[in-house]
Chains A and B, each alone.
Chain A
């Protein structure tokens, strides 16, 4: 088990001309389950490969258990890694696959056997020990890959999109197994995924990375607990990345600023009250108003203070327990998505007036930074 500390970590190509990762500062505590999320091309896998030593660190420090390991080759770092492609040794049986690292460490035969069988038992692989990888299903192979790193008792577990090659049902099941495994072993783990559901369900803390923009200081957007990122995203990028379906964004301008609450005017003319601290802004500043599909109220009667937005229903996705209504609204390019429980009375092409509770709104300035929310969101 180990603490991982990243200080001003950079990864660049072409001798420092093209950056993939810039100024990554991060402290992963002992025993913590951290997820790196971000769209493809944000460098999350690269960051993981830098931590295990498969990718060189251009500058900055990487510390494992307090020791700088920048120049330590991967075989000496004592970390375990589960690859997206499983990367099992095809010419070895499951047993040999799992014992490979232990044999290299010159461990005694008895101890190797004991460790392999124990890991196999906990992953329900005992009956597969003498099979070769090609005779197994995707889920089984993935479990072997996990078992192979467990037997080493590494200081740190690294997962590089381990579930992305599995089908949906298996993915949910493996997600549970991974959560159980972490609860049992309590080993520091880093999990890379582009699937925010995996990150939200598994991780103690989430690190959101973005593709490095031109001239940006860093591409580390926000670090925090899953619900903290969900409720208090610090900028537009995190707000739009976390949560499914995506948060709706309206362009607006400030009518009144305040420490407790503010008033904004959407470009279409609708005026809304929001509970955000805009004391740093001026009246008339351009802002972006964000509201999650789940935070919108279905019935206009419930809208406090007349906080309502009207749109025309385009399509309705009925999922059974809930429905997503896609509204046309002049201020939104794509669609204004609203989640409702009961959509029976709704018809396409009809107008729909939804409530936008002031405490559920997010507000961002022109640079995309969030104005702090002043009231906790309204829960049912």
Chain B
């Protein structure tokens, strides 16, 4: 920037940096705490940030490996944590993919097609979404309980039921994607139609490739929300083998004994898939995809 700046700008830059470092600490501290607890021997929530007696016992137990303590007793892993992790990843991936499929097609309808009550429908969906899904827990339970009598794989304690219940919350995603679609010039699809493309082909080959950044955002958001979701999963899933990690990790904290160390290790484990998904999706979060298509 060639603009002339006032002299005290330097101090302002430093002040901004200080604020940012403080903010970073605020964000990082809880995370580092969890990591620290997971490597601390025994189950203590408090202690120094760098463990005094680092131990891998919690990680071993969480990963399903028996652990021989210093006094010779062998601790057996209590819960199938790796199964839970797999359940979480499976449910989250399928849910996110389905959410993406539903919200892109839904958003296309709202952004491009003309039909009656379109505006009303959009507002109505928004208002319905304001009612927290948690408050409908009873309904979910009753619904899938009943449904399970007829379609066993969609009953209580199935992942399919959980996925279906998650698909209700796509209004936000529809709004997000709809806004992005509307920023893409309609002339591109019209041009594709003239080139011989059916509406579906124009959507598939023109609109979707240009919307990859917002699709990546929606996918990440859906994945993060699903993998950390507790209330619905805790009601719909019951069998120990069916639990997701978010629900399962709670099992370490029962009234008589809070196994903070095991809980922390499981929590860090939950963060792993999110991190991987984010790193993968990051490549698609690029701007300027539509540059040069139409003269502005």
**Interface on A for B, CB 8 Å cutoff?**
52-54, 73-76, 78-81, 83-91, 100-101, 104-105, 132-136, 138, 141, 148-149, 152, 165
Contact = CB atoms under 8 A, between A and B. Distances in A.
B97 interface: no
B193 interface: yes
A101 B294 contact: no
Interface stretch (B58-66, B122-130, B135-143, B285-293): B285-293
B187 A87 contact: yes
A69 to B, nearest CB: 14
B193 A89 contact: no
Contacts of B188: 87, 89-90
B294 A85 contact: yes
27 contacts: A54-B194, A73-B198, A75-B197, A76-B196, A79-B194, A80-B194, A81-B191, A81-B194, A83-B191, A85-B294, A86-B294, A87-B187, A87-B188, A88-B294, A89-B188, A89-B192, A90-B188, A90-B293, A100-B195, A101-B196, A104-B196, A104-B201, A133-B292, A134-B293, A141-B292, A152-B195, A152-B196
Contacts of B290: 90
Contacts of B194: 52, 54, 74-75, 79-81, 149
Interface stretch (B15-23, B49-57, B76-84, B203-211): B203-211
B68 interface: no
B241 interface: no
A85 B289 contact: no
Interface in B155-191: 185, 187-188, 190-191
Contacts of A87: 185, 187-188, 190-191, 293-294
A79 B193 CA distance: 10
A81 B289 CA distance: 24
Nearest to A166: B295
A52 B195 CA distance: 11
Contacts, number: 90
Contacts of B187: 83, 85, 87
**Interface pairs A-B: 7 shortest CB-CB:** A134-B292, A101-B195, A90-B293, A133-B292, A85-B294, A87-B191, A87-B187
Interface string B100-133: 0000000000000000000000000000000000
Interface in B248-296: 288-295
B205 to A, nearest CB: 7
A170 to B, nearest CB: 13
Given A75-B193, A141-B295, A152-B196, 16 more contacts: A54-B193, A54-B194, A75-B195, A75-B196, A75-B197, A79-B194, A80-B194, A81-B194, A83-B190, A87-B185, A89-B192, A90-B291, A101-B197, A105-B196, A135-B292, A141-B292
Given A81-B191, A89-B206, A90-B210, A75 B293 contact: no
Given A83-B187, A87-B188, A90-B210, A104 B195 contact: yes
B290 to A, nearest CB: 5
A84 B296 CA distance: 10
Contacts of A101: 195-197
Given A85-B185, A100-B205, A138 B295 contact: yes
Contacts of B195: 75, 100-101, 104, 148, 152
B198 A75 contact: yes
Contacts of A81: 191, 194
A232 B239 CA distance: 90
A88 B293 CA distance: 5
A152 B194 CA distance: 10
B210 A86 contact: no
Contacts of A54: 190, 193-194
A133 B185 CA distance: 15
A100 to B, nearest CB: 6
Nearest to B292: A134
